[in-house]
Amino acid sequence: MSKILGVIGGMGPAATVAFLARVQALTPAKGDADHIRVVMDLNPQVPDRNTRPGEAEAVLGQMAERLAAAGAEVIAMPCNTAHAQAGAIRALCAAKGLGFIDMIAATADAAAASGSKRIGVLATPGGERLYAEALAARGIETVLLEGAGREAFMALVYGVKRGDVGEAARAGMSRLAQALLDAGAHGLIAGCTEVPLLLKAENAPVPLRDSAEVLAQACVAACRV
């Protein structure tokens, strides 16, 4: 019997749908009944995690409560930045004995397993802070975009949210990945769930850890018991 997965989504909608597709694809199944039952709250109205963090945390906690009421036994949130506002979610899971899969910790562990000691992170400012701390705790130096590169990254992320995943956007993300390599990174983390919608691991110039893929794998492992 599989555990029920609760997904706190909508940040953004396209990234959440892509995450669910990963969970489905990674689940070993011979038929419908072998797949994981998922309850999801895809809420694009979650306040901006970068500019309204307190409001975001309150809404995310309410979403977790609704998922728990719907039967979720394991909670996942396919948004890296929002893990800075996961306090209410963690408290709920602890109180109710639910599992919470930490996307940042799981991805940092996967990156550390590669053996690289300098890893470039493609993430929002909030995501950068989370990964810098997690990687430092694992003895890994973080390489980040700066100035115009960071501004270009955010423009691409918000473009994906508008539906722009065209050739120019993909080329832009590739250039930013190369900029991190030029700055000394030996590996990359797609630390924002919009990144893999523009840059696939197989197209990256060095090993790229896709945080959404890592989270999906962890969800399958946690729910297939």
Which one, of 35, 107, 53, lies nearest residue 78 by Cα? 107
Q: Which whole number is the average pLDDT over 177-206?
A: 94
Indicate whether 203 and 123 sit together in one domain. Answer: yes
Q: How far apart are CA 43 and CA 2, in angstroms?
A: 25
**Would you state the structure tokens that stand for residue 135, as one six-digit string?**
């990687």
**Is the bond preceding residue 127 a cis peptide, omega within 30 degrees?**
no
- pLDDT value at position 204? 87
Q: Residue 1: pLDDT above 80?
A: no
Close Cβ partners of 129 (under 8 Å, ≥ 6 residues apart):
84
Tell me what pLDDT residue 176 has: 97
150 and 86 inside one domain: no
Indicate if 98 and 132 belong to the same structural domain: no
d(CA 56, CA 82): 8
- Considering the domain architecture, whether residues 144 and 118 belong to the same structural domain is answered as yes
In percent, the amount of the chain with pLDDT more than 70 equals: 100
Q: Quote the pLDDT of residue 153.
A: 97
Going by C-alpha positions, the residue among 15, 43, 127, 18 that lies closest to residue 82 is 127
Based on the fold, state whether residues 138 and 168 are members of the same structural domain.
yes
The enclosing domain of 134 has a CATH number of: 3.40.50.1860
Residue bearing tokens 């979720």 = 72
| Residues labelled catalytic | 79, 192
User: Is the model's pTM score more than 0.85?
Assistant: yes
Residue 205 pLDDT level (bands cut at 50, 70, 90): confident
Same domain, 126 and 27: no
- Which DSSP letter does residue 194 get? T
Mean pLDDT of the chain: 95
Number of domains in the chain: 2
- Residue 76, classed as helix, strand or coil, is strand
188 near 1, Cβ under 8 Å? no
58 and 113 share one domain: no
**94 and 119 within one domain:** no
Check residue 107 and give its pLDDT: 98
> What pLDDT band is residue 7 in, cutting at 50, 70 and 90?
very high
Range of the domain at 143: 104-211
Do 68 and 39 share a structural domain? yes
Question: Tens of pLDDT along 150-171?
Answer: 999 999 999 999 999 999 999 9
Q: Is 14 exposed, middle or buried (0-12, 13-18, 19+ CB in 10 A)?
A: middle
Which distant-in-sequence residues (6+ apart) come within 8 Å of 207 by Cβ?
114, 116, 187, 188, 201
Question: Quick one: 54 and 119 in the same domain?
Answer: no
Residue 125 and residue 96 share a domain: no
The per-residue pLDDT for range 66-106, each reduced to its tens digit, is: 999 999 999 999 999 999 999 999 999 999 999 999 999 99
Q: Does 34 share its domain with 124? A: no
For tokens 């070993």, name the residue.
Answer: 28
98-152 per-position pLDDT tens digit: 999 999 999 999 999 989 899 999 999 999 999 999 999 999 999 999 999 999 9
